[in-house]
Structure 1
């Protein structure tokens, strides 16, 4: 299996990747094909696909923020069972991020991820692909070391329509497994930076982020 970075919308592998995203994710979570041009060309956004026998069977997008020394996993898709795609993507992504942090003269502090809570929202079938089942994914991410950040979370819809999307938790995987809290200021800075690309912010999101200014630490809880 190959771990290949995509940096151009005209890459034939990107067409396969975008089709896979449409099969797996709900519409409000998928950026339109043409809108991918700038993100793919952004050196700070890392989009990789797992290619098996010439076919895209999985993909992951993530980014590293040198000033905060944290990463964000935008998404991970496992498109086929029985190939060890999830482990492959997680291992290759971690190797890449550790290398980026080392180039920054640091050890990676940790990684954010938004994780569906199937106990609150049950309608996401994720294309009928069993490894993408929300219950399975949540447990796998728990095994990887992700913990839920203890505050009510919503995020702006990627359709940029000003709607608030709920049913997810913002989670963090600290490099130090014993870490049980996170700086609220770091969470606020991260969210403000991450969603700067979306001008239409729901009021619920604005209030949520503003509320972090009144917090010092946020607990990291099991998921």
Structure 2
């Protein structure tokens, strides 16, 4: 497999990746095709696909914030079983984030991710078995992700301003002993991360106001 970066919607692999996103994610989680044109050119946003025999069989998007010393995995897609795609993307992403952090002369404290909770809402993910939300949650728990101890929502990526629930904001700490994160870090990270979506639901505003009242947010098992 090849690990290939996409930086333009004109890239022939972009429509294949976007179609894969539409097949496995709920509509409110997928940014409309043309709206990718500007963000995908941002050098700080890393969109990579796994290519096997000329086909896009997996994808991941991530970014690293030197001022927070944290990374964020926007999404990971495993399009086919039995090819080792998940492990391939994980190791390639780890190595690339190490490089980015080194170039910024910072040491990462960990990585955020939004993780679906199928015990609250059932997700089909296009019927792709490796994308089953129960499987994904357990795999991410094995990797070391833990959920932040607050009720989480985020603005929908379809720009309708709806609140998307049924997920946990989670964190993979570089040091396993880390038991909490400063609430200020979480607040500032989310403020910057979702600055691209101008329409925020009231549930989001209420959640963010709640973060302002906390000092630390515990990291709990998934």
TM-score (normalizing by structure 2): 0.99
Q: For residue 73 of structure 2, what is the aligned residue in structure 1? A: 73
1:9-44: CA deviation from partner (whole Å, max 9, x where unpaired): 110111110110011111111111111101110111
The 2-side partners of 1:156 and 1:112 are apart by 17
Q: Give the gaps of 5 or more residues in structure 1.
A: none
Q: What's the offset of the Cα at 1:143?
A: 1.1
Give 1:13-162 correspondences, 5 Å limit.
Answer: 13-122=13-122, 124-162=123-161
Moved more, 185-194 or 154-163: 154-163
Q: What's the offset of the Cα at 1:83?
A: 0.3
Q: What's the offset of the Cα at 1:213?
A: 1.2
The 2-side partners of 1:180 and 1:50 are apart by 34
Q: For residue 6 of structure 2, what is the aligned residue in structure 1? A: 6
Once superposed, which parts of structure 1, at least 4 consecutive aligned residues long, lie more than 3 Å away? none
CA RMSD of aligned residues (A): 0.7
Q: What's the offset of the Cα at 1:144?
A: 1.2
The 1-side partners of 2:107 and 2:2 are apart by 26
1:170 corresponds to 2:169: yes
Q: What's the offset of the Cα at 1:87?
A: 0.4
1:126-156: CA deviation from partner (whole Å, max 9, x where unpaired): 0101100000000111111110000011111
Q: What's the offset of the Cα at 1:177?
A: 1.1
The 2-side partners of 1:164 and 1:134 are apart by 20
The 2-side partners of 1:106 and 1:22 are apart by 35
Q: What's the offset of the Cα at 1:159?
A: 1.1
1:147-176: CA deviation from partner (whole Å, max 9, x where unpaired): 000001111111111211110000000100
1:183-216: CA deviation from partner (whole Å, max 9, x where unpaired): 1000000000011011110011011111111111
Q: Give the gaps of 5 or more residues in structure 2.
A: none
1:186 corresponds to 2:188: no
